[in-house]
C-alpha cells in the first residue's frame, strides 16, 4: 500500500528541484547563454507567466474534470520535458519567446496539480502538509546548490542540462504507483467547472484570501527574476550566489517543518498580516542598502513573505472548501497569485531594473503594503 505522506514528500522534492532551477536562474540563463538584455529576458519571462496564468486557470481545472490527477501529472511532465528540449536549438528572441510560451503552458500546471494532491490528501488521509512541503523546499535548496557548483565549473550552459535531467526524473516518478484517491477518474458533469468558479467567486472570504495571495506572491517578481542578476551585479561569484539564495530556502524548510505546530491555532488573517509586513520590510531593505550582507539578511524574511502567505492559503482552502472546489481554487491561485501578478510586475521590474536595480525591488511594495491594509480592513468583518 502506498504511504501517502512519503509519496507526497518525494514528489514535492522532485518538482521543486526543477522549480529551483527554472525560477531563479532562467532569466540569467537567457541573458548569458542567449545574449539577451535584461529587458528582453523580462519580456520573455513575463509573457511566459501570462501563458502560465492561462494554463493554470483554464487548462488545469478543465483537465481535472476529464482525467484523474495522476494522468494530468504524467502527461504534463512528459510534455514539459519535450518542450524544454526545444531550448537546445532556439537562439533568436522570437524563437525563445515561442518556446518559453509553450513551456509555460504545460510545466506550471504541475504546481497546482501537486498542491491539489496535497489538499486532497489532507482532507482524505489527514497527512501533514507542512512536513511534506518542507521536502519541496529541500529540493529547491539542492537545485540552488547544484546550479552554483555546475555554473562555477561549466558556466551557465549547465542550467539547461540540469533542468532536462530533473524533468526526466520527475516524469519517471509520476509513472510509478500513486495514492489511490489521486487515480480516481472524475465524474463528468456538464458545467461543473463554471459552477466551481462561480461558487468560489461568490464566497467573499475566498475572494479576499485570493486577493491577498495575489498581492503577496506577486511581490516576489523581482526577487525571482532578477535576484540572480542582482547578485552578479554586486560582484558575487556564481558558486556563492547559490549559497546566498539558499539562505531563504533554508528558512522556508524550517518554517514548513514546524508550521503545523507553530500556527495550529492562528487565524488565517493573522498569518497574512505577518506575511505582508515581512514582505514590505524585505523589499525596502534591499532598495535602501544595496549590499551583499543586507541581501543575505533580507533572505531571512522569505519564510514570512512567501512561506507564511502560502501556508495560510493552503490552510484556508483545505478547511473551508469542498473536495470538488479544490482544483478550481488551486488553479486560480496558480494563475493569478503565482503567474499573472508576477508577470505584470516582471514587466515593470525589468523596466525599473535598467534604471536602477534597487527600484525593481522597491516597486514590489506597491503590492505588499496594500495587502497589509486589506487584512486590517477585512479581518473583523469576514472572520477569516
Residue-wise pLDDT for 130-141, tens only, equals 889 889 888 988
Q: Report the chain's terminal Cα–Cα distance, integer Å.
A: 37
DSSP code for 185: P
**Cβ atoms 10, 210 nearer than 8 A:** no
**Cβ atoms 42, 169 nearer than 8 A:** no
**What gap in Å lies between CA 238 and CA 147, rounded to an integer?**
9
Q: How many domains does the chain have?
A: 1
Residue-wise pLDDT for 145-183, tens only, equals 899 889 888 888 899 999 999 999 999 999 998 888 888
pLDDT at 293: 94
Q: Give the number of residues written for the chain.
A: 384
The residue range of the domain holding 12 is 4-184+191-382
The CATH number linked to 34 is 1.20.1250.20
- CA 5, distance to chain mean position in Å, is 21
Per-residue pLDDT 10s for the chain (384 aa) are 678 999 999 999 999 999 999 988 898 899 999 989 888 998 998 899 889 888 988 888 888 888 999 999 999 999 999 999 999 998 899 999 999 999 999 999 998 899 889 888 887 887 888 889 889 888 988 998 899 889 888 888 899 999 999 999 999 999 998 888 888 887 765 555 557 788 888 889 999 999 999 999 999 999 988 998 899 899 988 778 878 988 888 888 888 888 888 888 899 999 999 999 999 999 999 999 999 999 999 999 999 999 999 999 988 988 888 877 888 888 889 889 988 898 889 889 988 998 999 999 999 999 999 999 999 999 888 777
pLDDT at 193: 55
pLDDT at 188: 61
Provide the grid cell at 220: 516576489
Residue for grid cell 513551456: 103
DSSP code for 92: S
pLDDT at 8: 93
**What is the CB neighbour count within 10 angstroms for residue 373?**
11
**Cβ atoms 61, 335 nearer than 8 A:** no
- Alpha carbon distances (Å) from 287 to 223, 280, 300, 301, 359: 12, 11, 16, 15, 7
pLDDT at 256: 86
Angle between helix 204-218 and helix 192-201 axes, rounded to 10 deg: 90
Nearest to 228 by CA among 137, 287, 148, 297: 148
Amino acid at each position: 500500500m502506498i504511504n501517502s505522506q512519503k509519496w507526497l514528500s518525494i514528489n514535492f522534492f522532485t518538482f521543486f528541484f526543477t522549480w529551483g532551477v527554472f525560477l531563479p536562474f532562467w532569466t540569467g540563463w537567457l541573458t548569458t547563454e542567449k545574449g539577451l538584455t535584461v529587458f528582453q529576458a523580462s519580456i520573455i519571462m513575463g509573457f511566459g507567466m501570462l501563458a502560465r496564468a492561462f494554463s493554470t486557470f483554464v487548462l488545469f481545472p478543465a483537465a481535472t474534470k476529464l482525467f484523474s490527477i495522476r494522468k494530468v501529472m504524467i502527461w504534463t511532465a512528459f510534455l514539459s520535458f519535450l518542450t524544454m528540449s526545444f531550448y537546445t536549438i532556439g537562439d533568436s528572441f522570437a524563437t525563445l519567446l515561442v518556446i518559453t510560451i509553450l513551456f509555460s503552458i504545460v510545466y506550471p500546471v504541475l504546481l497546482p496539480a501537486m498542491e491539489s494532491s496535497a489538499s486532497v490528501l489532507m482532507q482524505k488521509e489527514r497527512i501533514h502538509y507542512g512536513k511534506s512541503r518542507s521536502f519541496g523546499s529541500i529540493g529547491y535548496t539542492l537545485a540552488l546548490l547544484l546550479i552554483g557548483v555546475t555554473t562555477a565549473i561549466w558556466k551557465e550552459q549547465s542550467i539547461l542540462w540540469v533542468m532536462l535531467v530533473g524533468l526526466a526524473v520527475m516524469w519517471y516518478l509520476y509513472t510509478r504507483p500513486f495514492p489511490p484517491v489521486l487515480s480516481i477518474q472524475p465524474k463528468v458533469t456538464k458545467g461543473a467547472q463554471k459552477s466551481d468558479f462561480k461558487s468560489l467567486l461568490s464566497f467573499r472570504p475566498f475572494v479576499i484570501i485570493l486577493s491577498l495571495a495575489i498581492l503577496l506572491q506577486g511581490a516576489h517578481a523581482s526577487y525571482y527574476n532578477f535576484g540572480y542578476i542582482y547578485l552578479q551585479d554586486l560582484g558575487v561569484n556564481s558558486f556563492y550566489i547559490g549559497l546566498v539564495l539558499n539562505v531563504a530556502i533554508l528558512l522556508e524548510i524550517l518554517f514548513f517543518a514546524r508550521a503545523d505546530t507553530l500556527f495550529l491555532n492562528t487565524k488565517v488573517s493573522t498569518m497574512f498580516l505577518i506575511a505582508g509586513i515581512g514582505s514590505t520590510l524585505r523589499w525596502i531593505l534591499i532598495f535602501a542598502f544595496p549590499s551583499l550582507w543586507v541581501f543575505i539578511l533580507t533572505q531571512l524574511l522569505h519564510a514570512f513573505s512567501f512561506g507564511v502567505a502560502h501556508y495560510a492559503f493552503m490552510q484556508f482552502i483545505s478547511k473551508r472548501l469542498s473536495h470538488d472546489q479544490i482544483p478550481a481554487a488551486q488553479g486560480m491561485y496558480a494563475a493569478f497569485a503565482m503567474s499573472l501578478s508576477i508577470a505584470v510586475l516582471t514587466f515593470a521590474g525589468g523596466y525599473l531594473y535598467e534604471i536602477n536595480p534597487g527600484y525593481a525591488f522597491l516597486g514590489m511594495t506597491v503590492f505588499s503594503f496594500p495587502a497589509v491594509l486589506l487584512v486590517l480592513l477585512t479581518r473583523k468583518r469576514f472572520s477569516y
